[in-house]
Copies of this chain bind each other. A is one copy, B any other.
C-alpha cells in the first residue's frame, strides 16, 4: 500500500537487497519469518501481512507453499522438531549426582531450549486451538520427566520403588507443581510481558531447593496412604 512499486530497487540501503533469491534460500527465509509472525499473531495472521513483513508479494508465498495450512504445518515442524534432547532423561536418573544438582541441571538445560518467545507462544496458541501435538508433548513430560522425578524422590527419601507401590496421580501432582513453577515464569515473560530483574538460573536453583526441602514429608504421607490401601 504505502510502498511505491519503483521503491524496491533501494539504492541507499546497499547490502543484501538482492531481488531474486535461490528457491532454497527464499523458502528458508519465508519459513523463518513465518515462524516469528505466527508466534506473534497466531495462526489467523493474514498472509498479506506476513508477505509485507518478509518484503515480498503475497502470491509469492503460494509458489513455495500450496496453501497457508501447509505453511503452518511447516512452521510447526520447524518449532517442535529437535526441542527435546533425549540426554536430559538420563540426566534426571543419574544417581551418582545429588538429586538437587540433577534437577537444577535439567531445568537449566531445558530452559535454554524452551524459554523462547516463539516456542512458548506457539505452544500456547496450539493448545488453545486444540492441536494434538500438545497432548503428546505433555504426556512426554509426564512420563520422561515427572514420573522419573517422583521415582528419584522415592529413592532419596527411602520410600518404596514404583514397582512396589505405583506412583499416584496426587504424587505426580507434586512434580507438576515444580514444573508449573518453572513454566509459569515463561508464560509471565512471553505471554504477559512481565519482566523481572531476577536471574532465571538463580530462580531455578531456588525453586528446586524449596521443592526438595519441602517435598519429603508430603510424599511420604501420600505413599503411606497408598500402602494402607493394599
Identify the A interface with B (CB < 8 A). 42, 44, 121, 124-125, 127-128, 130, 134-135, 138, 168-170, 172-174, 176-185, 187-188, 191-194, 196-199, 202-203, 206-207, 209-218, 222
Complex CA distance for A209 and B178, rounded to whole angstroms: 13
- Partner of A180 from the list B172, B183, B222 (CB cut-off 8 Å) is B183
User: Do A177 and B42 contact each other (CB < 8 Å), given the known contacts A169-B196, A184-B184, A197-B169?
Assistant: no
The count of identical subunits is 2
Q: Closest B-chain residue to A194, C-beta based?
A: B138
Asked if A127 and B192 sit within 8 Å, CB to CB, the answer is: yes
User: Do A206 and B174 contact each other (CB < 8 Å), given the known contacts A184-B184, A211-B214, A217-B213?
Assistant: yes
Closest chain-B Cβ to A82's Cβ sits at a distance in Å of 22
Closest chain-B Cβ to A42's Cβ sits at a distance in Å of 7
User: Do A173 and B191 contact each other (CB < 8 Å), given the known contacts A125-B128, A128-B42, A184-B179?
Assistant: no
Q: Closest B-chain residue to A199, C-beta based?
A: B170
Closest chain-B Cβ to A144's Cβ sits at a distance in Å of 15
Q: Closest B-chain residue to A196, C-beta based?
A: B169
Asked if B194 and A135 sit within 8 Å, CB to CB, the answer is: yes
Closest chain-B Cβ to A183's Cβ sits at a distance in Å of 6
- Partner of A127 from the list B191, B207, B211 (CB cut-off 8 Å) is B191
Return 14 A-B CB contacts under 8 Å, by A number.
A125-B128, A127-B191, A127-B192, A135-B193, A138-B188, A170-B199, A173-B185, A174-B207, A176-B184, A183-B184, A187-B187, A210-B218, A213-B213, A213-B215
Among A172, A184, A199, A216, which residue has the most Cβ atoms of chain B within 10 A? A184
Asked if B42 and A192 sit within 8 Å, CB to CB, the answer is: no
- List, in ascending order, chain B residues with CB within 8 A of A198's CB: 168-170, 172-173
Complex CA distance for A192 and B44, rounded to whole angstroms: 20
Q: What are the 8 A-B residue pairs with the smallest beta carbon separation, nearest first?
A: A214-B214, A180-B184, A213-B214, A177-B181, A210-B214, A127-B191, A169-B198, A180-B181
